[in-house]
Chain A
Amino acid sequence: MSQKFGEQQRFMLLLIAPAAILMVLFQIVPIVIGANASFRDWALNDPKKTWVGFAQYAKVLTDPAFLQVVLPNTFVFMVVSVTLALVAGLALALLLNRPFRGQKLVQTVLLLPLMVAPVIAAIMLRWMFNDQFGIVNVVLEAIGLEGQPWLTQRWSAFAVILLTDVWLWTPWFALLLLAGLQSLPREPFEAAAIDGASRWRVFRHLTLPMLRPVIVVCVVIRAIDAFRTFDIVWTLTGGGPARSTELFSLYAYVHAFLNLDFGRGSAAAIIGGAIILVVGMLLYRILDRMVRVSR
């Protein structure tokens, strides 16, 4: 019996061995190197690599730009973009959850943002919100409003970034939630219809609770991804104007590769990683309680 047990374990380990080796080489080793670099004076143009203890962490954690701009930006971005995309996606899914002609076409259109690279989406919106020739300002001026220099003001630039992200991810929520809606059992809804429940009550007391596991999985996956957003910000504003729309990934990148201070960039990356791990763990506990992912 015990021999058979060992054989099964060997099989299990062999199945994950290639993945595990790659992970060690290209994730764990770099993370260790990065952690090591975050304790050193490591300028890319002058890599002295002397041990400086927690000095780099202190620099990041006392940097007003990090505390008052980057961290709030990152969390606001995460919460707002996930919430908006979830609400819009849920509304779309409810709208599409009925048979109608052209359903296939609508589905294809919804898939469009999913295949567009974030970089390209950012380029498209950058062009549409161009202050001189962008279509948005053209339309605004045509109806008698004043055009805005969208990408050179802090909050409007941040709003465009959020809009890009919501455009990219609403269809993802919609398709997943639609799949969830279609797999719900029919009987409770029929019973509610016989009892004459209003649409809102059906939604609030039947659809929403039954859909909760799908919603939770979507939100967890998206929230973790939204935290590390880099490409759309980089392409839309480059973190500007005056570094006011920087998210945490951008901050680490700018310090490591533009200011050539690899030690400080690594420290920022580690701090961000630690924050999202804590958030991720909390989300995981919620997720596991609701849908038992790990079994």
Chain B
Amino acid sequence: MSMVRQVVLAQFAPNVRRAFFACGLAVICLLFAFPVLWLVLTSLRPQSGVYYVHRGLEFTLAGYVHVLHDERIVEALVNSGLIATLATVFSLMVTVSSGYMLSRFSGPIARSWFGTIYVFRCVPYISWVLPLYFVTRSWHIYDTYLGLLLPHIAVHICFFSWLMKGFFDGIDPSMEYAALIDGCTRWGAFFRVALPAAIPAISALAVLCWLFTWNEFLFALILTGQRTPVITVVMAQFVHEMGIEWHLMSATAALALVPAFLLTLFGQKYVIRGLRI
């Protein structure tokens, strides 16, 4: 069978085979891009045009204008951006050192910390975000920036320590040993030698962290109310309450995609590196 196939394939001119390959790639790209393209197309149609998106050629930005005049949505976008940025900064401060410890040391402390991180990474979010509602209430930080920020930082600890350990594993520690021998303290070796060497990895983590926080839903759903709207929650409410106004829905979603899209486009190198565990 495979002999026959090889003979058949060999008869194809290389050009034809290349064309097949190109077509296949185009189909795959279309499959993955289509939902996003469709969303953007819907958002550009006038209200009545939504119901025949595939027909007609009227396009308008009215949906975007309408959405941007909605105070709640604008506020939610700003809130999400602020929380994602702050969570990124603080998460990195916490997880980089923890990942460094996991990578450079062994023994009981490192092993038990790794075990803890693995166990808590497995715990489903719902198991601690339900009671977190009461914790933030009793500390009077429910529905505030702080009340969303701190749990977000906590949720990143496990995964990002693990990722950061992997990054530091890939960085040769001999420079740090040299610094120690030259009389540098451990902290000096960490801050002056290991950290600068890890800047590409830290950037990768920053991009990932920002995206995760911007896209996060469950925490925001439970830990925020009227005072601190967040874009993912506002969109989900939109779907359930005003599910018919698809041009506005799509415009909101497209707006929410823009920052993530720009970040991914310009930080592509870092995203890919960050994904390589």
Contact = CB atoms under 8 A, between A and B. Distances in A.
A143 interface: no
A135 B54 contact: yes
B215 A119 contact: yes
A277 B221 CA distance: 25
Interface string A84-116: 000000001001000010100111111111111
Contacts of A11: 186-187
B94 A252 contact: no
Contacts of A123: 39, 235, 239, 249-250, 253
B215 A31 contact: no
Given A109-B33, A176-B277, A228 B126 contact: yes
A127 B2 CA distance: 43
Interface string B146-179: 0000110111010001000000000000000000
B242 interface: no
Interface in B104-162: 105-106, 109-111, 113-116, 118-132, 134-135, 150-151, 153-155, 157, 161
Nearest to B165: A293
B79 interface: no
Interface string A121-147: 101111110101101001000000000
B126 A253 contact: yes
A252 B221 CA distance: 14
Contact of A22 (B157, B214, B265): B157
B126 A269 contact: yes
A115 B260 contact: yes
A260 interface: no
Contact of A127 (B21, B246, B268): B246
B226 to A, nearest CB: 15
A120 B253 contact: yes
Interface in B27-56: 28-29, 32-33, 35-36, 38-39, 42, 50-54
Interface stretch (B58-66, B67-75, B95-103, B198-206): B95-103
A189 interface: no
Given A12-B105, A119-B217, A120-B235, A109 B123 contact: no
Contacts of A100: 21, 25
Given A19-B157, A273-B123, A231 B128 contact: no
Interface string A11-46: 111011011101101110111011001000000000
Contacts of B132: 26, 30
- DSSP class of B's interface residues: helix, strand, loop or mixed? helix
B32 A19 contact: no
A106 B239 contact: no
B257 interface: yes
B78 interface: no
A106 B124 contact: no
B126 A252 contact: yes
Given A22-B153, A106-B29, A280-B122, A112 B36 contact: yes
B126 A230 contact: yes
A12 B275 CA distance: 27
Contact of B218 (A116, A224, A230): A230
A248 interface: yes
Interface string A227-255: 11011001100100000000011001100
Interface of B: 2, 21, 24-25, 28-29, 32-33, 35-36, 38-39, 42, 50-54, 93-95, 97-98, 100-101, 105-106, 109-111, 113-116, 118-132, 134-135, 150-151, 153-155, 157, 161, 186-187, 190, 211, 214-215, 217-218, 221-222, 232, 235-236, 239-240, 246, 249-250, 253, 256-257, 260-261, 263-265, 268, 271-272, 275-277
Given A16-B101, A16-B113, A121-B35, 7 more contacts: A23-B120, A30-B128, A117-B214, A228-B126, A253-B130, A276-B122, A280-B119
Interface of A: 7-9, 11-13, 15-16, 18-20, 22-23, 25-27, 29-31, 33-34, 37, 92, 95, 100, 102, 105-121, 123-128, 130, 132-133, 135, 138, 167, 170-172, 175-176, 179, 198-200, 217, 221, 224, 227-228, 230-231, 234-235, 238, 248-249, 252-253, 256-257, 262, 265-266, 269-270, 272-273, 276-277, 279-280, 284, 293-295
